[in-house]
């Protein structure tokens, strides 16, 4: 299965991931002090839901499309996420770097990293109008670690690799361990597909054993045809106060329309 962003734009996993991203950024904005966002695998920034990749899977129909007409009263992060998505129109879905760029204040910064030349070219164009945003072409794992810690000592690191490599979990675990060593107080939002529970458990165990003291996971599962993405997880290291409650409240609203089971669970770290 190809987990490249374009094939899954606006699907159930994107909805939960981007909801978490918005919730974290809203928390960081509660203080006037500047913060930095580093997105290690930024993709192209925005996706055409009528384009070839998205149309091939049609996954947005089972994700974002089911949330457009939710009741007006909802948790702040969910309302903000859906508001940003609707601003782009019905066929234009914002990726993580564009959502982050739209939520930054003048004092905040975003570095969005993308390795694939075509994806990077599109990303650079999408982010060109944001003065406090830098798009970089390069190895996301290497660059993300080198950029830490940010001068403000406040920030979020987003790691959302495409899982094209067979050893992606190993590469991801190494990068997280290195990043946490350099930025122990930072917030980390990490996405991963769940194809094998044992492989997922090994990955989480390696990360949590690398000095992480405070973390939670958000596990989302749907019914899908064989061979289609049906389960994905988020690992959130150093989640902000109240993040678990807001994600749980939002899950109560979006789970039924998505046909999903969404579990928010605290994880114990270690030395």
Residues 105-118 have pLDDT tens digits of: 999 999 999 999 99
Q: How many domains does the chain have?
A: 1
The packing angle between helices 168-182 and 197-208, to 10°, is: 20
Contact 120, 127 (CB under 8 A): no
Structure tokens of 183? 């930025």
Q: Is the pLDDT of residue 271 over 90?
A: no
Residues 181, 185, 189, 194, CA torsion sign: positive
CA 81 remoteness from chain centre: 12
SS3 assignment, position 216: strand
CA angle 112–116–117, rounded 5-degree value: 95
d(CA 120, CA 141): 15
| pLDDT for the residue 55 | 66
Q: How many residues are present in the chain? A: 271
Residue 270 confidence class, pLDDT cut points 50, 70, 90: low
> What's the CATH number where 157 sits?
3.40.50.150
Report pLDDT digits (tens) over 133-168.
999 999 999 999 999 999 999 999 999 998 988 999
* Backbone phi, psi, residue 146, to 5°: -65, -25
CA 71 to chain centre: 24
Q: What positions carry a catalytic annotation?
A: 160
For 2-43, how does the pLDDT look when each residue is reduced to its tens digit (9 = 90+)? 445 767 789 999 999 999 999 999 999 999 999 999 999 999
Tokens linked to 132: 């406090």
Question: Within 10 A of 241 (CB to CB), how many other CB atoms are there?
Answer: 8
Q: Which helix (H) or strand (E) holds 205?
A: helix 197-208
Give the pLDDT confidence of 192-231 residue by residue, as tens digits. Answer: 999 999 999 999 999 999 889 899 999 999 998 888 889 9
d(CA 1, CA 4): 9
What mean pLDDT value characterizes the chain?
A: 93
Question: Which structural domain, as residue segments, surrounds residue 257?
Answer: 5-268
User: What's the pLDDT at 17?
Assistant: 97
């Amino acid at each position: 299965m190809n987990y490249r962003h374009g094939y899954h734009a606006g699907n159930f996993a994107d909805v939960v991931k981007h909801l978490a991203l918005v919730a974290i950024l809203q928390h960081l904005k509660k203080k006037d002090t500047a913060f930095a966002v580093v997105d290690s695998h930024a993709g192209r920034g925005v996706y055409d839901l009528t384009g070839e990749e998205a149309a091939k899977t049609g996954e947005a129909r089972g994700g974002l499309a089911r949330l457009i007409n939710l009741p007006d009263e909802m948790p702040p992060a969910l309302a903000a996420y859906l508001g940003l998505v609707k601003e782009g129109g019905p066929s234009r879905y914002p990726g993580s770097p564009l959502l982050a760029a739209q939520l930054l204040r003048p004092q905040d910064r975003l570095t969005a990293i993308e390795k694939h030349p075509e994806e990077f070219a599109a990303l650079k164009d999408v982010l060109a109008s944001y003065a406090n945003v830098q798009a970089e072409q390069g190895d996301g794992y290497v660059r993300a670690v080198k950029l830490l810690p940010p001068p403000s000592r406040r920030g979020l690191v987003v790691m959302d690799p495409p899982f094209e490599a067979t050893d992606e979990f190993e590469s991801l675990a190494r990068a997280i361990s290195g990043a946490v060593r350099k930025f122990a107080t930072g917030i980390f939002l990490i996405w991963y597909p769940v194809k094998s529970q044992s492989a997922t458990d090994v990955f989480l165990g390696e990360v949590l054993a690398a000095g992480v003291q405070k973390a939670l996971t958000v596990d989302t599962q749907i019914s899908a045809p064989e061979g289609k993405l049906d389960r994905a997880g988020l690992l959130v290291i150093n989640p902000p106060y109240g993040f678990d409650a807001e994600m749980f409240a939002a899950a109560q609203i979006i789970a039924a329309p998505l046909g999903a089971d969404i579990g928010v669970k605290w994880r114990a770290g270690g030395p």
